[in-house]
Amino acid sequence: MSQSFRLGVAGLGTVGAAVVRMIARRSAALAAATGRDIRVVAVSSRDQTRDRGFDVAGLHWFDDPVEMARSAEVDCVVELIGGSEGPAKAVVEAALAAGKPVVTANKALLALHGAALATSAETAGVALAYEAAVAGGIPVIKALREGLAGNAVSRVYGIMNGTCNYILTRMEREGLTFEACLKDAQALGYAEADPTFDVEGFDTAHKLAILTSLAFGTAIDAEGVSVEGISGVKPLDLLMAEELGYRIKLLGVAQATEAGIEQRVHPTMVPKSSSIAQVMGVTNAVTIDADAVGELTLIGPGAGGEATASAVVADIADLAAGLTRPTFGCPTAQLRPAERVEMQRHEGGYYIRLTVHNRPGVAAGVATRMAEREISLESILQRRTGETAESDPHGRSGQPVPLVLITYAATEGNIRAALDAIAADGLLAEAPQLIRIERE
């Protein structure tokens, strides 16, 4: 067996501790698979006294992770600190500058600084590996970069945030509000005290930016992702989705169009018959549409110490065995600039829930405004809430009621213009709800 492959792990939170334990547990199998003795020799974290399920006494402890990255006793640096700036960025930069390969699970760092870090890795002739940065234990990076190298990809989309999927699952199954489900998610540890990054779609956007680069050979463009979260989804929307044959998921979608690459994150109605609609709870899923294989859906745990550690250790094993690939599938100089497609140009079906005044001519007025923008309606449903139906059984009071529209393919710009005209006509009692439909 050749020389040892010595690891320095920066960050000993849930994932970092799981990585150390997994490498110890799987040492013999890893050595057999890679031909090298893979072992953790150094660690760096904020608290040396915390019980992490293994003894740190035999490891070199560094208070400064950058110092660890530069240490001669470390062959490969594993960055599991998190965050796009600060110590995480500094330790990766230091490792690459020292000519050492890096394994990271840090999607924010890659989404915002991936191009510069990939260039540094190329200059140093070492790898920057990040399977764990997107969809946890699901090997979607390897699938796109290696497994589907012979395919032309037309679309990548998926559920990439377990917190949002858990909340939407609970809302659908139990008829609960977003606020109630978020509170439960926080109590169970699925959501942070400040859940904004997850529930407003930014976590998914960072992951999508990485997948877009791999799928289409473009430079990472995190700022080009259109982002909407799930906080505005109401129980009524999930009820209507069920009735119409859909399920609501927060999707990240990257799609090649004639105008360029669409990158969008938003609540989405997907057909209940689709593979991705079956993914419930904290589970993640990514679907890849490619010319040779057709539709490929990968489903699995998107977070958690063991699942994420599985992806980290897979990268470590590749590096130990000498298997490396360009960070984003090709040298950074060959990545094409991303051609942004503004959301106004997106074309597809839409679910629109209008809260309208219940009086004669309202539905006709809505239909007229839609027709003026050449928007064809697949269906139109009027619903009264239980309270309204009970107090006004004949629908004569003019109290606000939901009016639900499903459109055929239309542009976002035309949909928005029609809604503005409907609002200007005084037909709406509150702001409209708009959810895009992603068909198979």
Catalytic (active-site) positions: 207
C-alpha 166: how far from its chain's center? 14
Could you tell me the two tokens for 359?
């009086």
Round to whole Å and give the CA distance between 168 and 146.
33
Could you tell me the two tokens for 332?
């950074």
Q: Tell me the chain's radius of gyration from C-alpha atoms.
A: 25
Round to whole Å and give the CA distance between 287 and 66.
37
Round to whole Å and give the CA distance between 252 and 215.
13
Q: Using an 8 Å Cβ cutoff, are 165 and 191 in contact?
A: no
Q: Find, among 294, 286, 326, 268, the residue nearest to 114 by Cα.
A: 326
Cα–Cα distance list, 281 to 37, 165, 333, 347 (Å)? 38, 6, 40, 29
Cα–Cα distance list, 338 to 71, 206, 266, 378, 388 (Å)? 38, 15, 20, 34, 50
In the block, residue with structure tokens 């150390």: 20
CA-CA-CA-CA torsion sign (308, 314, 320, 326): negative
Beta carbons within 8 Å of 120's beta carbon, 6+ residues apart: 93, 96, 97
Could you tell me the two tokens for 53?
């399920």
DSSP assignment letter at 133: G
Round to whole Å and give the CA distance between 9 and 19.
9
> Which H helix or E strand runs over 29?
helix 27-34
Q: Using an 8 Å Cβ cutoff, are 120 and 94 in contact?
A: no
Maximum distance among all Cα pairs of the chain, rounded to whole angstroms: 84
Cα–Cα distance list, 107 to 170, 312, 427 (Å)? 27, 13, 44
Round to whole Å and give the CA distance between 249 and 286.
12
